[in-house]
Amino acid sequence: MSKLLSAVMLFLMSSPLFAAAREMEAEIPPSETVGLVWVVVFGVIFVGMIVAFFVYLWHTEKHRKPE
């Protein structure tokens, strides 16, 4: 059983190396970039949703009725 597990682990560890080597050989065009404005918009929305979640938690905890 341990031989099988070690063989599977070796295979799983070597698979990303084969994929990286194949990708280096292929001529893949560079990926398209996105404007800085959209990165900032994403950041503001992401941080805003996190802050809104904690404000919601604080608000519900503040108005919780004691049992």
* Distance, CA of 41 to CA of 37 (rounded, Å): 6
pLDDT band at 52 (very low <50, low <70, confident <90, very high): very high
> Is the pLDDT assigned to residue 44 strictly greater than 70?
yes
Kindly tell me if the per-residue pLDDT of 15 is higher than 80.
Answer: no
pLDDT greater at residue 59 or residue 28: 59
Question: How much is the average pLDDT of 8-18?
Answer: 75
Average pLDDT, integer, range 41-49 = 98
Number of C-beta neighbours around residue 48 at 10 A: 10
Burial of 8 (0-12, 13-18, 19+ CB in 10 A): exposed
